[in-house]
Structure 1
Amino acid sequence: MPESLLETRRVFWITTAPGIAGALPAKKAHTLLGQDTDIIVFDAHSGFDVNAFAAVSGTLRGGGTLYLLTPPLDEWADFPDPDYQRFIPYPYQPHEVRGQFLGRFLGMLKAGCHCRSFSPIVGLTSDLQVVAVETILQADVPVVLTADRGRGKSAALGMAASQLQVAGKRVLLTAPSRATVESVFKHAELPPSFFAPDDLLQTLPEGDVLLVDEAAAIPVPLLLKMLQQYPRCVFSTTLHGYEGSGRGFALRFQKALDTLAPGWLAMRLQQPMRWAENDPLECFINQALLLDADVGDGVCNTPLRPLYRQLNRDELAQNEPLLRQLFGLLITAHYQTRPSDLRQLLDAPDISIHVLEQQGTLVAVALLSREGGLDAQLTATIHAGARRPHGHPVPQTLTFHAQLAGAAELVCERVMRIAVHPLLQNQGLGAHLLEHLLGFAAQQGADYLGVSYAMTPELLRFWERAGFVVARIGFRQDAASGSRSVVQVKALSVRAVGLFKGL
C-alpha cells in the first residue's frame, strides 16, 4: 500500500501493550462508536473482550480490515486469557478455565464463513433511510425503527432531530448511555438534549418529540412510561448487536403498542451503510458470537408436558443448533444479553444449565451459579467490609449489607437467569423449572437458593409465590432500568433456616 494512502487510513489499536501511540484498552473501545474506521488491530493477548470485539468491528467501513492478534491457534484455547478475570469467581485463576468458548470460536475461524463475497464501496444513504427520516418528521403516532448493526438508524435519528428542531420542535434524546448515541450526535447539526432514562422520567423536561435509541436495552415498563409522557416518540433499536438483542423487544413492546397506541408505525432498515450486504466479517461475527440467535419455532400446540434435564457444557459447546436455541431464548428474555454472556455460559466455573424441553424445542432455561462456601476468616473480613471476593454477589450482600454474620460460609446456588419461551409464558413453566432447581440445589448440598434482579411487581410476586423472602432492597435506582435491585433467598438447610429467620 502506498505510504500516502496508508497515512489517510484510520488505524486503531485495541491493546494494553505499551509503546503504541493512541492505543485503547478494550474497556474504552466504546469511544470508537459513531466513528468510521479503516483498520482495527485487536490484540487478544491483552484479553479477548468479545463485547469490545463485536463493537469495534461494526465501525469498519467497506473494504476495511480487522486484524486479530492471538496466541498460536493450537494453544489459544488453553491461554490464560486476562479477560477471564471479569467472570471467574474467587478463588479460581485464569489458567483453570477450560476455554470452551475459544475452542468453538477457533473451530469457526478454521471452517470459515458461508457468506458471499462483498463489494468494498457502500453508499452514504439509502432510500429506506430517507423514508425513515421523512416518517419521523411527519408521524404524529409512535414510530418503531429497527435494524441490524451498521444500517444507519442512529444516523437517521440525528438527521431527523436536526430537521425537527429547524421546524421549531423541542427534541429530547434518551438511551441506555450517552456513549451509545455518539452516532446520533455525529449526524445532528443541531444536537438534541440528552437525558438518561431515569433522569428523563424523574425530571420530565418539556419536549415535542422524544427519540429513544437502543430501546431494546431499556425495560418495557420504562418505555411505556415515556410513551405516556411524550406521545410523539421514536423507538429505535438494534435487532442483532453486541449491546443486546431487539428480538425480545419486538415481541414484548410492540404487543403493548398494539393496545396503547394502535396505528403506530414500523420501519425496518435492511441495507448496510458502511459495508455491502452479505459482508463475510459481519456474517462471521454474527455466527461466532450468536448475535443473530433466535428461539426455536417448533413449539407444538399439544398440551405442555416438558421434560427437565441438566445440560452438559461439553455437549453444548459441540452442539451448535442446541446452543443457538438456548442462547436465543436467553436473548429474547433479557434486554441486555451480550456476547460476554455466551462466553461466561460456556467457560465460567461452577455454572450449571437447566432446561425444560418439549419435542426437541427448549421451552425454558435457567442458569445457576454456585457461590459462598467461604472460610470463616474470609467471611469475617467480608462482614467487616474489608474484602469483596469476586463472583459471590448474593453471599456477599447477605454478609455485608444485610449484616448476617457467617452467611458467606453457607453454600448458595444463585439463579443467574431464568427464561421461558415467549409464546409459552404465563403457563407455569417458570415455576415448574424452579421446582427442579430447588431439587438440584438440595441434592448438591446447597444451603439456600438466591436471586438478584431489577425489581418489578410482577417479578416480586413470582419469587414470593415460590417461597423466597426479601433479604435486601438496593437504595439506588439503576440508570437504565429505573428499578432498584432486590436480593431474595429461600432456605434449604437447617442452618439457613436459622440464619434467615429474622428476614
Structure 2
Amino acid sequence: MRAAQSRLANHASVLWISTAPFIPEALPASQALRVLGCEFDAIVFDAFSGLAVNALAAVSGTLRGGGVFILLSPPLEQWPQFPDPAYQRFLPYPYTPSAVKGLFLRRFIRLLQEPISPKPIIQFASQTQAEVVAELVKAATARVLTADRGRGKSAALGLAASQLIAQGKTVLLTAPARAAVEAVFKHAEFAPDFYAPDAVLLNLPRADVLMVDEAAAIPLPLLLKLAQAYPRCVFATTLHGYEGSGRGFVLRFQQALSQLDPHWQSLRLEQPMRWPFNDPLEALIYRWLLLEVEAPEWQGDSQQPVEYRQLEPEQLLENETLLRQLFGLLVTAHYQTRPSDLQQIFDAPNLSIHVLQQAQQIVGVALLSREGGFDPELSAAIQRGQRRPQGHLVPQTLSFHAQLAGAAELVCERIMRIAIHPAIQGQGWGQQLVQHVFKYAAWQAADYLAVSYALSPELLQFWQQSGFILARIGHRQDTASASRSAVQIRAISTAGQALVNTILMHGPIDPASVSRN
C-alpha cells in the first residue's frame, strides 16, 4: 500500500477504497456510492479490507480514460485462501471465512491470465449525450432512456432537468432510493424535487415533467401508474451495471407502455464518457462480474421434457458457458441480481443450485439457502429479540416478528431466487421446478420449504398453487415497490406441519386484501 501511495503521488485525484487507518482520505467500500458522478485519475481498491465486488464495479466506472486502477490483494496463489472480511456479508451464523472455498477468486485469477478479446463493434441506434438532453427537454410524450454504466445517463438527466427548470417548468425526480440519483443532482444546476415512487402516487404533486431513474428496480404496475399520471415522463435505466440488469425489464416495460402511449420514443447512450470503446479495464470487469450477460435465446421445444439437475459450484467454475446461462437467466428475471450474488453462488456454504435443462440449455434455475436449526436456548433468545444471528431470514422472521415459539429450531430451505426462461413462462415449468426442490429439501431433512418476496396477487397465487401457505405479511410498504414483504411456507416434516397448523389456527390472511395494498 505504501508503494501505491508513492506511485500515485503525482496524480491530481486519487480515490482510495480501504479501511486502512493510515489512509485518512480513504472511503470504506460501504460508502463507495458517494463518488458516483465524480472522476478520478487513479483508483486504489484495497482487497485486504474486503473484496466488496458491487463497490468495485461501481467505482471502476469513475476512472478517467488513461487512468490507473490498482487492486491490492494477497499473492494470487494465496488469495483464494485469504479470510476476506467481505465474506461476512453472505456467511450465515455460525460459518466463518474458513468455510469459503474461494471459487469466485479462482475464476478471477484464471481470467486475469487470459487475453481480453475486444468486443465486436455493433451499430446501435445510439445518440450523443447532447442529442439525448435536447430530446428530453422538448419531448411531449414518454421517453425511455437506456445505457450501460459510465455512459452519462445520470448527467443527461441532470442537465435536462436544469434546462427545463430554467424554462419555468416543474420537474420531479423519483428513483428506488435517493442515493441512486446523487449523480443526477451533481449535474443539475437547478435541482428537481425528489419524491420516493410511492410518495409520488400518494400525493400526485403537480409537475410538467416526471423523471424516473433506475426504473427497472421499480415494479411494472407502479411505473404504468406513473405514466398515466404524468404524460411527460422520462424512464431511465441501466442495462448492465453494478446495481443490476435492466435488459429484461426494458422488453416488458416497452410492450406495456405502448398500450398507454403509442407515441413514446426510445433513447440510447452507447459511447462511454470517460474511456474509449473496448477499454480493457471495462472488458475485464464485465467479463469477471458477468455484467453483460442475459438469458440466451430460446432454442428448445416447450413440448419436450426437461431434466432436473443439482449443480455444484465447481461445475460452474469449470464450464463458463453453463455459468453464463445460469446467471443470464437470473439477471433477466431479477433486476437486482448483482455481482455479489455471483460471488455468493460460488462461495456461500449454505447455498444449493438447482436447474432445469433441455438439450444442454438451462431453462430454469432456483437457488436455495439452508436456514434455521438453532438450539432451544438461542431460538428463545431470537424470539425475545435478544439475539439476531447473521442470515437465517425466514426462521428469524417467524420467530421474532410472528412470535412463533420454536420456529427457529426447525430447519428451513428458503428459495432465494427462482427464474424460468422468458420464452416458456406460464406453462407450469416454475411449479415443476418447485416440486423438484421440495423433494431435495425433504431429502436434506428440512422441516419446511419457504420463500420471501414482495407481495403481489400474481406471486401469491403462484406460491399458493405450489402448496405454500401465507405465514406472514410485513407491516411496512417498501418505498420503491409500494409492496409489503410476504413469507410463505410449505411443510415437509411432522414438525413443519405442526408449524403450518399453528399458523392456520391463528386464521389465514385474506388473499383479497393483497390487491387493496
TM range (shorter): over 0.9
Aligned to 2:223: 223
Q: How far is the alpha carbon of 1:366 from its aligned partner?
A: 0.4
Whole-angstrom CA distance in 2 between matches of 1:199 and 1:127: 32
1:85 to 2:58 alignment: no
Aligned to 1:416: 416
CA contact (8 A) 1:251 1:422 kept: no
Whole-angstrom CA distance in 2 between matches of 1:353 and 1:444: 14
Q: How far is the alpha carbon of 1:183 from its aligned partner?
A: 2.1
Q: How far is the alpha carbon of 1:7 from its aligned partner?
A: 5.2
CA contact (8 A) 2:452 2:485 kept: yes
Q: CA separation of 1:127/1:264 partners in 2, compared to 1, >3 Å: closer, same or farther?
A: closer
CA contact (8 A) 1:144 1:265 kept: yes
Q: How does 1:75-474 map to 2 (within 5 A)?
A: 75-115=78-118, 128-301=128-301, 303-474=303-474
CA contact (8 A) 1:219 1:335 kept: no
One-letter identity of the residue aligned with 2:12: R
Aligned to 2:59: 56
One-letter identity of the residue aligned with 2:290: L
One-letter identity of the residue aligned with 1:128: T
Q: Secondary structure at the match of 1:490?
A: strand
Q: Per-residue displacement from partner, 1:65-86 (whole Å, max 9, x unpaired)?
A: 1100001110000111000000
Q: How far is the alpha carbon of 1:260 from its aligned partner?
A: 2.2
Aligned to 2:475: 475
Question: Quick check: 250-259 or 410-419, which moved more?
Answer: 250-259
Whole-angstrom CA distance in 2 between matches of 1:421 and 1:296: 9
Q: Per-residue displacement from partner, 1:358-378 (whole Å, max 9, x unpaired)?
A: 122211110001111111111
Q: How far is the alpha carbon of 1:321 from its aligned partner?
A: 0.9
One-letter identity of the residue aligned with 2:56: F
Aligned residues: 493
Whole-angstrom CA distance in 1 between matches of 2:171 and 2:415: 41
One-letter identity of the residue aligned with 2:103: Q
CA contact (8 A) 2:228 2:260 kept: no
One-letter identity of the residue aligned with 1:269: L
Q: Per-residue displacement from partner, 1:153-174 (whole Å, max 9, x unpaired)?
A: 1111111111111222110011
Q: How far is the alpha carbon of 1:115 from its aligned partner?
A: 2.8
Q: How far is the alpha carbon of 1:415 from its aligned partner?
A: 0.4
Q: Per-residue displacement from partner, 1:72-111 (whole Å, max 9, x unpaired)?
A: 1100001110000001111100122111111111111122
Question: Normalised by the size of structure 2, how large is the TM-score?
Answer: 0.92
Whole-angstrom CA distance in 1 between matches of 2:183 and 2:375: 49
Consecutive unaligned residues in structure 2, runs of 5 or more:
120-125, 504-517
Whole-angstrom CA distance in 2 between matches of 1:293 and 1:18: 38
Q: Per-residue displacement from partner, 1:172-198 (whole Å, max 9, x unpaired)?
A: 011122222222112211111111222
Q: How far is the alpha carbon of 1:502 from its aligned partner?
A: 2.9
Q: How far is the alpha carbon of 1:47 from its aligned partner?
A: 0.3
Aligned to 2:14: 11
One-letter identity of the residue aligned with 2:142: P
Q: How far is the alpha carbon of 1:127 from its aligned partner?
A: 5.8
Q: How far is the alpha carbon of 1:251 from its aligned partner?
A: 2.1
Q: How far is the alpha carbon of 1:396 from its aligned partner?
A: 0.7
CA contact (8 A) 1:399 1:408 kept: yes
CA contact (8 A) 1:411 1:447 kept: yes
Percent of paired sites with the same residue: 61
Question: Normalised by the size of structure 1, how large is the TM-score?
Answer: 0.95
Aligned to 1:41: 44
CA contact (8 A) 1:174 1:195 kept: yes
One-letter identity of the residue aligned with 1:339: P
Consecutive unaligned residues in structure 1, runs of 5 or more:
117-125
Whole-angstrom CA distance in 2 between matches of 1:65 and 1:306: 48
CA contact (8 A) 1:218 1:335 kept: no
Aligned to 2:29: 26
Whole-angstrom CA distance in 1 between matches of 2:296 and 2:127: 33
CA contact (8 A) 1:217 1:243 kept: no
Q: How far is the alpha carbon of 1:347 from its aligned partner?
A: 0.5
Q: 2:68 aligns with which of 65, 76, 82?
A: 65
Q: CA separation of 1:262/1:286 partners in 2, compared to 1, >3 Å: closer, same or farther?
A: same
Whole-angstrom CA distance in 2 between matches of 1:195 and 1:62: 34
Whole-angstrom CA distance in 2 between matches of 1:225 and 1:305: 39
Whole-angstrom CA distance in 1 between matches of 2:21 and 2:115: 32
